[in-house]
């Protein structure tokens, strides 16, 4: 039987079956009765179908194994992540005493800076008032009073210079403590 005849036979068998579900075994028997040589093709088809099923089962097994591995790896990753978070918090806490010490030193230095600024402003106002008084009352004071007031003014100017120098040192110290705090942040 030629290939064309086989095709026609298969089409006829399919047409006679109509819309009803085709019984594969019955159809196979009918084809083999008409063309016994077709059994080799059917055997080859069965072998290939079996091979495909084997591959699909292997894939299903591999998929389930990989999915189990993925689930396990995700769990391990979550555990490792939690472990790192706990260790990180613990390690950051080790810096707390140093940070607290520097924060306290910074707070004290800021208080000293404000006090020195207030004192400097007070000395500056006193010196300005004394200069004004010395310029305005040339004849109201005696020579000794005037000399005493000028000595007071010189003392205020020395105090102002000392406070100015102290302020600069305090500002450098505050800036240094702030830099230390920034460096201690993890």
Q: What is the mean pLDDT of residues 130-145?
A: 77
Mean pLDDT of 104-109: 96
Percent of the chain with pLDDT over 90: 67
Domain boundaries of the chain, sorted by first residue: 23-89, 98-184
pLDDT-derived band at 97, boundaries 50, 70, 90: very high
Are 31 and 1 within 8 A, CB to CB? no
Phi-psi region of 2 (alpha: psi -120 to 50; beta: other; left: phi over 0): beta
At residue 132, the pLDDT reads: 86
Residue in the block written with tokens 């207030």: 118
> For 107-112, which contacts have Cβ atoms below 8 Å and span 24 or more sequence positions?
109/170, 109/173, 109/174, 109/177, 110/174, 112/170
Instruction: List the Cα angle 60/63/65 in 5-degree steps.
Output: 110
Q: What is the pLDDT of residue 40?
A: 92
State both tokens at 157: 């100017």
* Token reading at 141: 């004071």
CB 41 within 8 A of CB 10: no
Q: What is the pLDDT of residues 51-88, one digit of tens each?
A: 999 999 999 999 999 999 999 999 999 999 999 999 99
Distance CA 10, CA 101 (A): 94
* CA angle 66–68–73, rounded 5-degree value: 90
């Amino acid at each position: 039987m030629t290939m064309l005849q086989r095709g026609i036979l298969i089409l006829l068998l399919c047409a006679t079956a109509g819309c009803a579900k085709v019984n594969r075994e019955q159809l196979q028997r009918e084809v083999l009765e008409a063309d016994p040589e077709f059994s080799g093709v059917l055997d080859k088809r069965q072998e290939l179908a079996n091979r495909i099923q084997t591959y699909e089962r292997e894939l299903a097994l591999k998929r389930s194994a990989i999915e189990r591995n993925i689930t396990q790896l995700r769990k391990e990753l979550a555990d490792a992540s939690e472990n790192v978070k706990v260790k990180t918090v613990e390690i950051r806490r080790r810096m707390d005493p140093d940070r607290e010490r520097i924060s306290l030193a910074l707070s004290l230095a800021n208080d000293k800076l404000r006090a020195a600024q207030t004192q400097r402003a007070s000395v500056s106002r006193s010196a300005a008032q004394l200069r004004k008084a010395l310029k305005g009352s040339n004849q109201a004071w005696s020579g000794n009073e005037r000399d005493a007031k000028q000595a007071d003014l010189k003392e205020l100017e020395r105090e102002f210079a000392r406070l100015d120098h102290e302020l600069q040192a305090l500002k450098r110290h505050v800036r240094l403590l702030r830099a230390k705090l920034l460096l201690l942040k993890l």
